[in-house]
A and B are shown apart, each in its own frame.
Chain A
């Protein structure tokens, strides 16, 4: 019986269960006769076991809901029918009319709920941290908007657009992810020619429908926000109130339209 000669390539075959049954005994003898090859085989087997152990835990992790939604939803989320509450939010906004009246009349509404205050506070905190950073305010710049919004959408679970605020004098610097109240929010930053910066904070969080303006007791930037079940956004800046209202409303309308929600 002439046993075929083995090479280190057979170490891989043996390790991966690809060595034919009738060659295994001869392979073992070859290993015993070649200590280097045996050492190599033991080392590869150990690395293999380490790799397998390292990722074994992933199978036990709860499956993120966005992945279940990707399968069970009727196709990709962005093609879903408009949820009623977003239509209602959009409609309410259109009815609100003049921005001055809107800001004056709405700032108190919905303030009983804590979640919107919390969202506004987080949006202001994010604005204060990142808009103030002259050199690196954003993580991904605005030059490739499709990439930016694709990334932010995926991470927040929303269909996001970067509102075009050029007619208000603001251009997109870019965006980043920031912490929200238990999830992740998208922060998009804009600057005008004078160097004023505003930020658009969007998160898939919210409990009940509310809208308003929010400023910290200590002063500083103002947040104009909208919230509904599962959706919240806040536009933050230090512009004069009238201008702030115009920019915020423009941004909000585009966000809603971009999500396919304003065609009611």
Chain B
């Protein structure tokens, strides 16, 4: 199928890459792991091009693919106990110039986001950062609207608690000095 339709589809997919990268970065933090996830998603999308109906925005289709890969990856990580390898990558990423410029506050938010369970993180990021509606997010995540809502509510509560803990710890450190 080397046709004009194919080229059009590819062009539409290319346009979505910045959005996909942002979603992946919020899910995984480390830039290279995030881009790996995007690359996996794009490769899978290309082999399944037929599943994408013409005329439909590729955004939701691509986000759905990425979400499945993300959840698979999270399961594998916990099953194989490779969390240490992944967290090592994340630690190393802190040494790169790009992340060095992160302020303490933004690093704390990123850290807190990473500690939220993957399901809640995905729901929160889709709605709060990517701006999808509840209906869209529920479809992409493959859960009922009620489940999505409670994931968002719990995710926000959890995030707030983690940020408060960090702030408290920071205050204690300052006092100790």
Which residues of A pack against B, CB within 8 Å?
8-9, 12-13, 16-18, 43-44, 47-48, 50-52, 54-55, 58-61, 63-64, 66-68, 70-72, 75-76, 139-140, 154-155
The CA of A259 and the CA of B80, in the complex, are separated in Å by 27
Question: Inside 8 A of B113's CB, which chain A residues have their CB?
Answer: 51
Question: Inside 8 A of B153's CB, which chain A residues have their CB?
Answer: 8-9, 12
Flag B108-119 by CB within 8 Å of A: 1 or 0 each: 011001000000
Question: Inside 8 A of B43's CB, which chain A residues have their CB?
Answer: 70, 75-76
- CB-contact partner of A71 in B13, B25, B125, under 8 A: B13
Residue of B nearest to A48 (CB): B128
- A55, B46: Cβ atoms closer than 8 Å: no
| Least CB distance, A106 to chain B, in whole angstroms | 35
- B21, A50: Cβ atoms closer than 8 Å: no
- B32, A54: Cβ atoms closer than 8 Å: no
Residue of B nearest to A50 (CB): B109
Does B38 reach chain A (CB closer than 8 Å)?
A: yes
What is the total number of residues of chain B having a CB less than 8 Å from a CB of chain A? 40
Which residues of B pack against A, CB within 8 Å?
10, 13-14, 17-19, 21-22, 25-26, 32, 35-36, 38-39, 42-43, 46-47, 85, 88, 105-106, 109-110, 113, 124-125, 127-129, 133-134, 149, 152-153, 156, 159-160, 163
Residue of B nearest to A184 (CB): B32
- A16, B128: Cβ atoms closer than 8 Å: yes
Q: Which 9 A-B pairs have the closest CB atoms?
A: A58-B22, A70-B42, A59-B18, A48-B128, A63-B17, A76-B43, A54-B106, A12-B153, A70-B39
The CA of A64 and the CA of B24, in the complex, are separated in Å by 14
- CB-contact partner of B35 in A13, A51, A64, under 8 A: A64
- A59, B19: Cβ atoms closer than 8 Å: yes
The CA of A44 and the CA of B38, in the complex, are separated in Å by 29
- B85, A140: Cβ atoms closer than 8 Å: yes
- CB-contact partner of A16 in B14, B36, B109, B152, under 8 A: B152
Question: Inside 8 A of B38's CB, which chain A residues have their CB?
Answer: 67
What are 30 sample pairs from A and B whose C-beta atoms fall under 8 A apart?
A9-B149, A12-B149, A13-B149, A16-B128, A17-B133, A18-B133, A47-B109, A47-B159, A50-B105, A50-B109, A51-B26, A51-B113, A51-B128, A51-B129, A54-B110, A55-B26, A58-B21, A58-B22, A59-B19, A63-B17, A64-B35, A67-B39, A71-B17, A71-B46, A72-B10, A75-B46, A75-B47, A76-B43, A139-B85, A139-B88
Question: Inside 8 A of B22's CB, which chain A residues have their CB?
Answer: 55, 58-59
| Least CB distance, B104 to chain A, in whole angstroms | 13
